[in-house]
Structure 1
Amino acid sequence: MSTAVTVRAPAGTVVGHQVDGVRRYLGIPYAEAPTGARRFAAPVPRARFPQPYDASRHGATSQRVPLFATTTIPEPSVPGDDVLNLSVTAPAAQGCPVLVWIHGGGFLAGSQASCWYDGRAFARDGVVTVTVGYRLGVDGFAPLDGVPANLGLRDLLCALDWVQENVAAFGGDPDRVTVAGQSAGGAAVLALLSSPAAKGRFRRAVSLSGGLFDVDPPHEFLAGLGHSLGVPPTRAGFGRRTPEQLQRAVRDLRGDDSLVLGPVSGDDILPVPVAEGLTAHGHDVPLLLGATGDEFDGDSERGSRAAGTRITDTLFRSACPRIAAARRVAPAGTWLYSFEWPSPTLGGAVHCVDLPFFFDVLDAPGVPEALGPNPPAELATRMHTDLVAFVRGETPTWGRATGRLGDPAREYGRPLAADTRGLYDPVTGGEPC
């Protein structure tokens, strides 16, 4: 049975609900709605709520239309203007470590309201989970004249400030915050880790299938996008179109390009490309990162693991040793993992299928369609336990990575005897070493 629970935080009074000892506060705005004059502007922290805020349902999502008709992760689009919101799932305890989760979606789509990001298992294990929405696509990542760059990253920094100021009221410890994400969310984690502007906002970092996704300024793409919409590719021109119109146009124009908009370097958030920034910043933050064995190459003869030929290698696996090498002098350390369990329905250890294991939500909607009827519960227990331990501040039980040949990595989905063999070739990112 659900019962109301009330929190009095610096942001104001928030009313959520509790079921089976798990407290949920959904859709809490952390910034003012990015509409009107605030569209294409840096986020403005939300004013204190004058009345108790009803946090009983998910808030609006930046995603208006999904990238694909069918997605592996259930990714609901929720209408509304208050897209800069977050949700908190917490145990009935105080002083808990905090996991701040950033969803993926190629910086163009994705939803913080996905049931695969339910933090109930983390709450069971004494961790507060915060899932964050941020601006996507043109509104979040188009470098336009007169517009601050990397608005989506600025949103995330604003959300992390909200966590620092408010999470203690929800039972979290602001001095034990881990920022984590998958795919574009994992890339955002690496971008934040490399950013001098993010210093002090989190203590640990986790990047799942993140990669180094910063892009060159997409002027040609934006020109084509403006042409397709009948507007100049400017702040004023794109401002004449709704986020939904822009997202549909981006989806139609991007074709097979995997990344057309994303973080760009050269501003105060990312003064230099992420790979370069990682050599200078975030050295006091322990990092756990890895990829799935097949990512986007499952269920295909092209998925044979020839070094350097697969999307998996180019975008994801090769980034892991590069990042470890960039952080070689970081005293906090870097640890690698590889997810190798092949989904019987999707034809491999493909992109996103590791998420229900890390979150330990094998009973969530959409899991049987992605993982088959009997995904191994013991693997979920093992992966989730490792992630909880890391968030709590424990040192991983396998060796650190330095980007050199034969670096140890935790392997999920094969016998324990192969648990920490070298998995990443730092040159090609190809076959296990």
Structure 2
Amino acid sequence: MVGTHDGEVRGRWREQGKTRSAAFLGIPFAKAPVGDLRFAAPEAVDAWTGVRDALEYGPTPKRGEPDSGMIPEQVVPGDSTLNADVFTPRPGDTEAGLPVLVWIHGGGYYEGSPASPWYDGRTYNRDGVVTVTLSYRLGFDGFGWIEGAPANRGVLDWIAGLEWVQRNIREFGGDPDRVTVSGQSAGGGAALTLLGMECAQHLFSGIHSISGALGDRPKEEAIEFARQLGQQLGVEPTAEALRAVPEDRIYEVQQVLDTPPGLDYLKSMVQDGPLLAPVVDGELIKRPTFESYALGIGADKTLMLGATDEEFLVLTMGQSKQFQQVPLAGLLDSVGLSGDVQHQYVQAHDDYVARGNAAVLGRYLSDGIFRSTVVRAARARSGERTWVYRFAFVSGSYGLSGHCLDVPFWFDCLDSTDVALHTGENPPQALATAMHSAAVSFIATGTPGWPSWAEDAGVVEVFGGTQAAVRSHGDFDDVEMLLDQPFRR
């Protein structure tokens, strides 16, 4: 049992080999966002008396069936969806002062769940790191522009969760002054967003962004999306009117509006990012994230970031025959890559040209959304206190170094649910050891063990090539021609 500022919670000890750690699941950090609170800023929970069981994952903002994507993520019904899960080797030891990892899950800002065996913190606990996973409102409920409601409610949820960590983590053995925020995909984008927010700087000391998909949606576009959604629903896009619309109906309409037909969808993914994502509202998020970095926001924080080699090839390789029937130049024109930039890009990716049009298109999605973001972030910060990696391991199951494939390596959980299904049989433990050790070092000491971008411009730690980890240079040079493109990220 551990006493939080809101009341006592009861967790469960777990044993795995020589590792003993405790899990406290489903602890609410804010009231249930339903009724009058549905589109409100997160509100502090009421204190309770007695002991509250924290033995099962709490309700998740994700509804319906579990995702069919790579990461096994549980869907839990219920209203009280704003919860923290804490994994710790030293519950109740307020003097332990262990470093803390706070994990924000991905899912494009409209899917995903913190309740996944891949996100269990037991291996970080083994290595002396307290781990917390946070939930947040998704889709339109979390990020849609609504008249009469605060913008960026999902972002406010991240902040409320991090504030809960600051108030309570010492009771779980953690040090509130050594908090690293990490996440993958949208969760990695969340971490990058927080790094550029003045009002969030006191909540963490470091950021680990894994395949970060940045939002930075312009306010005007968010307002227009809300107008279209209200029109489809037959209501005004106001908080009062939308509270009467069931979640599943809003979800159904947002899916249609967020998925333009054909290649327009791929073009939108690269150039604009997700339609439902953090909005540059001028108040909470004052300016685009990289502009904030250039102004020095977050410069005193550490940042480790990177991407997989072939994040989104899986989206295009299933249509190889169709894409091969279209001239490559026309195909790339359709997704916004043309002229001299297209020529330079094709020349820099002759190995993908040899694999066919679908491979080039998939690599372009990977570069435009993820890999160029790595370089933009490092340069916006002038490389200061910034470390860059590249994930190059190729799945034995589908022959790609794809999106989400690196997560079980960072968590050193190769024996977890469905991992071998995606990595192939006998995934290399040496790679998981190298990556997890780098993450633990970064969380505990502020450096992952290789030179920073400022110390050695262009230096990259490559995970998963012929060896578990090798030092390299110039691994992101093949996105150089994309850096001046008017991408949102």
Which of 270, 279, 293 is 2:309 aligned to? Answer: 293
1:328 aligns with 2:382: yes
Return the offset for 1:395: 2.1
Q: Equivalent residue for 2:76?
A: 78
2-structure distance, mates of 1:78, 1:112: 10
1:227 aligns with 2:231: yes
In terms of fraction of residues, the more helix-rich structure is 2
Structure 2 unaligned segments of length 5 or more: list them. 318-355, 484-489
1-structure distance, mates of 2:162, 2:176: 10
Return the offset for 1:161: 0.7
Return the offset for 1:241: 1.5
Return the offset for 1:46: 1.7
Q: Equivalent residue for 2:256?
A: 252
Return the offset for 1:69: 5.7
Return the offset for 1:305: 5.7
Q: Kindly tell me: are residues 382 and 429 of structure 1, through their superposed partners in 2, closer, same or farther at Cα, counting changes over 3 Å?
A: farther
Q: Equivalent residue for 1:56?
A: 55
1-structure distance, mates of 2:448, 2:37: 43
Q: What is the number of residues matched between the two proteins?
A: 420
Which of 434, 448, 465 is 1:414 aligned to? Answer: 465
Q: Are the aligned partners of 2:208 and 2:304 in contact in 1 as well (CA < 8 Å)? A: yes
Q: Are the aligned partners of 1:143 and 1:149 in contact in 2 as well (CA < 8 Å)? A: yes
Q: Kindly tell me: are residues 228 and 346 of structure 1, through their superposed partners in 2, closer, same or farther at Cα, counting changes over 3 Å?
A: farther
2-structure distance, mates of 1:71, 1:320: 24
1-structure distance, mates of 2:67, 2:139: 18
2-structure distance, mates of 1:255, 1:25: 38
Q: Kindly tell me: are residues 391 and 111 of structure 1, through their superposed partners in 2, closer, same or farther at Cα, counting changes over 3 Å?
A: same
Q: Equivalent residue for 2:350?
A: none
Q: Equivalent residue for 2:7?
A: 12
1-structure distance, mates of 2:42, 2:196: 21
Structure-1-length-normalised TM-score: 0.92
**Residues 112-148 of structure 1: CA distance to partner in whole angstroms, max 9, x if unpaired?**
1011111110011111000000111111101122211
Return the offset for 1:419: 2.8
1:344 aligns with 2:342: no
2-structure distance, mates of 1:69, 1:178: 27
Percent identity (aligned): 41
What is the correspondence of 1:242-321 to structure 2 with a 5 Å cutoff?
Answer: 242-255=246-259, 257=265, 258=269, 259-280=274-295, 281-298=297-314, 300=317, 301-302=356-357, 304=359, 310-321=364-375
Q: Equivalent residue for 1:3?
A: none
What is the correspondence of 1:152-191 to structure 2 with a 5 Å cutoff?
Answer: 152-191=154-193
Q: Which amino acid aligns with 2:71?
A: I
2-structure distance, mates of 1:173, 1:23: 17
Q: Kindly tell me: are residues 9 and 309 of structure 1, through their superposed partners in 2, closer, same or farther at Cα, counting changes over 3 Å?
A: closer
Return the offset for 1:19: 1.1
Q: Equivalent residue for 2:335?
A: none
Q: Are the aligned partners of 2:190 and 2:214 in contact in 1 as well (CA < 8 Å)? A: no
Q: Equivalent residue for 1:212?
A: 214
2-structure distance, mates of 1:24, 1:69: 24
2-structure distance, mates of 1:19, 1:12: 23
Return the offset for 1:246: 1.8
Q: Are the aligned partners of 1:327 and 1:402 in contact in 2 as well (CA < 8 Å)? A: no
Q: Kindly tell me: are residues 91 and 220 of structure 1, through their superposed partners in 2, closer, same or farther at Cα, counting changes over 3 Å?
A: same
Q: Equivalent residue for 1:428?
A: 481
2-structure distance, mates of 1:373, 1:346: 12
Q: Kindly tell me: are residues 345 and 226 of structure 1, through their superposed partners in 2, closer, same or farther at Cα, counting changes over 3 Å?
A: farther
1:135 aligns with 2:137: yes
2-structure distance, mates of 1:111, 1:312: 23
Q: Equivalent residue for 2:204?
A: 202
**Residues 8-58 of structure 1: CA distance to partner in whole angstroms, max 9, x if unpaired?**
122210101001111000000001111111111111122222231110000
Return the offset for 1:418: 4.3
Q: Which amino acid aligns with 1:154?
A: L
Return the offset for 1:267: 3.2
**Residues 197-247 of structure 1: CA distance to partner in whole angstroms, max 9, x if unpaired?**
101110111100104322233334333322333322222232112223222
Return the offset for 1:402: 4.9
Return the offset for 1:377: 1.1
1:237 aligns with 2:241: yes
Q: Are the aligned partners of 1:61 and 1:78 in contact in 2 as well (CA < 8 Å)? A: yes
Q: Are the aligned partners of 2:42 and 2:160 in contact in 1 as well (CA < 8 Å)? A: yes
2-structure distance, mates of 1:303, 1:316: 18
Q: Are the aligned partners of 2:222 and 2:279 in contact in 1 as well (CA < 8 Å)? A: no
1-structure distance, mates of 2:50, 2:139: 33
Q: Equivalent residue for 1:150?
A: 152
Structure 1 unaligned segments of length 5 or more: list them. 1-5
Return the offset for 1:98: 0.3
Structure of greater Rg: 2
CA-based RMSD: 2.2
Q: Kindly tell me: are residues 292 and 329 of structure 1, through their superposed partners in 2, closer, same or farther at Cα, counting changes over 3 Å?
A: closer
3-state SS of paired residue (2:382): coil
2-structure distance, mates of 1:228, 1:14: 44
Which of 453, 458, 466 is 1:401 aligned to? Answer: 453
**Residues 370-424 of structure 1: CA distance to partner in whole angstroms, max 9, x if unpaired?**
11222111111110010001000242322222599x6011111113484333211
2-structure distance, mates of 1:126, 1:145: 45
